[in-house]
Amino acid sequence: MKRTIFCLLLLCSLAAARADDQVRTAQQILKDQGFFYGAVDGQNGAEISAAIKRYQIRNGLEVTGQLNQQTLSALQSISDGTEPAPAAPQPASPPPPQPTPATSTSNQELPLQVPPQQPPSGNEYAAIFFKTPYEVAPREVQENTLRRAQIRLNRAGLYHGPNDGRPGPGLSQAIIRYQADGGLPQTGRLDMRTLAGMDLLPRSGQPPEMSPGGRRVYRGIWIQ
């Protein structure tokens, strides 16, 4: 009986040590990738769970905050020096069948399928301000608004780059951390809700200022 109890305790100890090593390895990889900011101690907690969620969101994995098999495989790929394979997109639901008319349809127009809007590629400013008034703003307005966002994120300890008004991977990661802390959709962009949270949207009654191009600007919103 005593021998059985001893064996069970030994197995539990080995399992706990293995789990600690697994968490410690994940902490180190996530820390190297910029997702984890705590101590690499092999301890589970809210901080490593939040880091796992950020990593899962960034890489299109199932967001659980846990080291499930999919997340472990992706982290192992980083440890082996290979990039994790992107998550396969879920197939869209097929459209409902259209009724077939009795007459010939050779001269009839087919319904136009409009794809969902995506951030424009090749223009970093338009992408980070996608679907906001700043998306088509003059460049000096975009840079000024982005610089103010960098300053706010810097003061919050989420961003450590230069306040130069230019987009980049470090800024996108800081925005995701800000959105995660505030319970906002983690888009990595300065969308309307994120701009509102940072107090970067114009207020009514705000006196105008002149932009370098000669147009009047209300807190980043230009007018003719």
Per DSSP, the three-state class of 24 is helix
Domain extent at residue 168: 124-223
What is the total count of domains within the chain? 2
Q: Which of 79, 105, 137 is the last residue of a domain?
A: 79
State pTM to two decimals.
0.42
Per DSSP, the three-state class of 48 is helix
Most confident listed range (16-20, 56-60, 114-118, 220-224): 56-60
The answer to whether the beta carbons of residues 127 and 189 sit under 8 Å apart is yes
Helix axis angle, 139-155 relative to 169-181, nearest 10°? Answer: 60
Query: Which pLDDT value is given to residue 118?
Result: 60
Evaluate if residue 61 carries a pLDDT over 80. Answer: yes
Q: Average pLDDT for residues 16-25, to the nearest whole number?
A: 75
Q: Average pLDDT for residues 82-103, to the nearest whole number?
A: 55
Count of CB atoms situated within 10 Å of the CB of 133: 16
Do 70 and 134 lie in one domain? The reply is no
Residue at 85 is within a domain: no
Query: Which pLDDT value is given to residue 210?
Result: 45
Query: Which pLDDT value is given to residue 188?
Result: 92
Residues of the chain above pLDDT 90, percent: 32
Do 130 and 67 lie in one domain? The reply is no
